[in-house]
Amino acid sequence: MVSVITAMQPLEHIMEELEQAEGLEALQAATEALCDHYGIDHVVYHWVDSVGGQYGCGTYSDVWRARYLELNYVRVDPVILGCFQRFHPVDWKRLDWSSKAAKSFQAEAIEYGVGNQGYSVPIRGPNGQFALFTVSHSCNDTWWADWTEAHRRDLILIAHYFNQKALEFEPDRKPEQSQALSPREVDSITLLAMGYSRAQVADTLSISEHTLRVYIESARFKLGAMNTTHAVARALSRGLIVV
């Protein structure tokens, strides 16, 4: 099973770099790498706190970012306002752009190269912490619908991994143990690492393959991994499983 550790896919590589991040520069680098990887115009991580303070990183132009801050667009932006009320990802088209302020904001955003399409994942951390992970692009509706459909589950995971990193950078944050795997998750990942197929793992644990998928899904998230192979590699490298 050495192959699972060495055969790293491009996306996993980006997430490994993110995992090692020790400052905002590394998060910035990850947004740029994700743009290149997916071939889309923008990737942005944006933290907004309850008193209107904000920071983040991403690939929007400096002039747009400066303008956004200067004109306090966080109070107008339908993406922010809409995501505050949701905990599920949203295509920008589903948001309310009907007000005059929203329409002119949108026209300006497009003018500054944000793109005519967007998809944002709201994330909520401890104590009401709120952030957004956004991808945006210039393309037609069909292309965008197909692209987001194909990648949204990855985007949801990536969004949470960005936020976990950003939370680690908080100055007064108590060091938190990474989430422990449950006994069933340890069993599942261990057997996969030993080269068992999913059917064999399910059979060995006397659970259905569907139930197994849930344990693997949960383990994958706790490990900050993009897929099962990546999860196995991380569990091994962290010494969480012994094969």
Partner 1 sequence: MDENGAERDEYDDLNPLYVIWEEPDGSHGGSMRFLPTTGRTMVNEHFGDLMSGPITSPLIWECTRFCLTRGAGSHVAAALMLGGGEVMQNFGVEHFVGVFDARMVRIYRMIGASPEVLGSTGSGREQISVGLWHFDDRDAALVAERAGVSQHLSRQWFDRAFGTTNVVDFARSA
Binding status of residue 204 toward partner 1 by CB under 8 A: no
Could you tell me which residues are beta bridge partners of residue 43? 135
Binding status of residue 221 toward partner 1 by CB under 8 A: yes
Residue selected from 141, 146, 168, 176 as contacting partner 1 according to rule CB under 8 A: 141
Neighbours of 50 (CB within 10 A): 9
Binding status of residue 61 toward partner 1 by CB under 8 A: no
CA distances from 108 to 65, 72, 153, 160, 161 (A): 12, 14, 30, 29, 30
Residue selected from 160, 167, 196, 227 as contacting partner 1 according to rule CB under 8 A: 160
Residues of the chain by 3-state class (helix, strand, coil), percent to 5:
55, 10, 30
Asked whether 114 and 42 are in contact (CB, 8 A), the reply is: yes
Binding status of residue 238 toward partner 1 by CB under 8 A: no
Beta strand ranges found along 97-223 (DSSP E): 117-124, 130-137
Q: How far apart are CA 140 and CA 231, in angstroms?
A: 35
Q: Which residue shows structure tokens 């340890």?
A: 186
Residue selected from 215, 229, 235, 236 as contacting partner 1 according to rule CB under 8 A: 215
Binding status of residue 95 toward partner 1 by CB under 8 A: yes
Binding status of residue 183 toward partner 1 by CB under 8 A: yes
Binding status of residue 92 toward partner 1 by CB under 8 A: yes
Residue selected from 38, 64, 73, 97 as contacting partner 1 according to rule CB under 8 A: 97
CB of 48 to partner 1, least distance (A): 17
Residue selected from 31, 59, 117, 229 as contacting partner 1 according to rule CB under 8 A: 117
Binding status of residue 156 toward partner 1 by CB under 8 A: yes
Binding status of residue 157 toward partner 1 by CB under 8 A: yes
Q: How far apart are CA 12 and CA 214, in angstroms?
A: 21
Residue selected from 54, 204, 218, 227 as contacting partner 1 according to rule CB under 8 A: 218
Binding status of residue 145 toward partner 1 by CB under 8 A: yes
Asked whether 161 and 18 are in contact (CB, 8 A), the reply is: yes
Q: How far apart are CA 172 and CA 193, in angstroms?
A: 37
Contacts with partner 1 by CB under 8 A lie at 85, 87-97, 103, 106-107, 110-111, 116-117, 124, 140-141, 145, 152-153, 156-157, 159-160, 179, 182-185, 208, 210-211, 213-215, 217-218, 220-222
